[in-house]
Amino acid sequence: MDVFGLLGNPVGHSLSPPMHEAAYTALGMDARYVTFEPDRDAAADAVAAAETLGIAGLNVTIPFKQDVLDAVEPDDVARRVGAVNTVDFTGETPRGYNTDVAGVERAFAHHDVAIDGREAVVVGAGGAGRAAAFALADAGASVHVANRTVERAESLAADVPGATAGGLDSLARVADADLLVNATSVGMEPDDGETPVPAAHLHADLAVLDAVYAPIETRLLSEAAAAGATTIDGAWMLLFQGVEAFERWTGRDAPIEAMNDALRAGLQ
């Protein structure tokens, strides 16, 4: 039996176990997905223990995504983003990936939204903002990062080729943009009456990905839909980071529909 898992603290409400187990069931795999909640300073020990125990792959979430970077061999994307959310133990040494980046790119692709040559605005410069900015720039977009703390936007933009940065007042650029990603926690339960982007900036030629997935239908997405924009909810990003992790661990095409059904059932 192959064992996969999630390293985080806390991990109690994670939807990764039902999403991955749905994939094992759909493909008839003899595999399990379990959660691990070590002490906050124990990331490296946990990775070493997982390798010793023969665990095939780990997802990594808050607060370990940066700490695990030093405990594995990160690929180029994870190194540039500065965070690992997936560890693959099936090779000679543990390899680290950041599949949140692929999650953003594949969420747009799944909705037939082109990224190459487009103008993109990412609001937020934390973990999700970093993943979104690298995903969009690597796929050929011009990226502007808008963040409440301007210095954080500037620091991220300095790492991303061609990116610019500003405060939340620079969100006016959304009016001329093709793509918008909300990578702040604004709009998340229990503050789901809030939105990070004034509705006046939204328009019909925009595609909007909201990283927030609780609630699924955020105020930003409903205002974007009302403006005629293409909307992509945060569950798609969550789904495709898991799909990408599954495919890296197993070398098989993920059963996307089964994983999506399990994820959305858990989000209701």
Smallest distance from ligand NAP to CB 122, Å:
9
Euclidean distance between CA atoms 200 and 223, whole angstroms: 9
SS3 (DSSP) at 261: helix
Judged by CB under 6 A, the residue of 8, 74, 94, 124 near ligand NAP is: 124
Stretch that binds ligand NAP, among 40-48, 179-187, 219-227, 254-262 (CB under 6 A): 179-187
Please list every residue from 50 through 109 that binds ligand NAP, using CB under 6 A. 100, 103
Identify which of residues 142 and 241 has a Cβ nearer to ligand NAP in the complex: 241
Please list every residue from 208 through 237 that binds ligand NAP, using CB under 6 A. 211-213, 234, 237
The residues assigned a catalytic role are: 65
What number of chain residues touch ligand NAP (CB under 6 A)?
25
Judged by CB under 6 A, the residue of 74, 94, 96, 127 near ligand NAP is: 127
By the 8 A CB rule, do 123 and 182 touch? yes
By the 8 A CB rule, do 180 and 207 touch? yes
Smallest distance from ligand NAP to CB 198, Å:
12
Please list every residue from 235 through 254 that binds ligand NAP, using CB under 6 A. 237-238, 241
- To the nearest 10°, report the CA torsion of 183, 185, 186, 192: 120
Euclidean distance between CA atoms 36 and 7, whole angstroms: 5
Measured between alpha carbons, how far is residue 187 from residues 43, 96, 133, 238 in Å? 30, 31, 20, 17
Smallest distance from ligand NAP to CB 30, Å:
28
Please list every residue from 138 through 167 that binds ligand NAP, using CB under 6 A. 147-149, 152
Of 124, 184, 192, nearest to 156 by C-alpha is: 124
Identify which of residues 51 and 80 has a Cβ nearer to ligand NAP in the complex: 80
Joined together, the tokens standing for residue 91 give: 């090779």
Burial class of residue 196 in the structure, from the number of CB atoms within 10 Å of its CB (0-12 exposed, 13-18 middle, 19+ buried): buried
Smallest distance from ligand NAP to CB 100, Å:
5
Question: What residues have CB less than 8 Å from 229, skipping those under 6 apart?
Answer: 202, 203, 204, 205, 206, 207, 208
Identify which of residues 3 and 214 has a Cβ nearer to ligand NAP in the complex: 214
Joined together, the tokens standing for residue 188 give: 């998340």
Stretch that binds ligand NAP, among 27-35, 134-142, 155-163, 207-215 (CB under 6 A): 207-215
Judged by CB under 6 A, the residue of 87, 183, 207, 232 near ligand NAP is: 183
The residues binding ligand NAP (CB under 6 A) are 100, 103, 124-129, 147-149, 152, 183-186, 188, 196, 211-213, 234, 237-238, 241
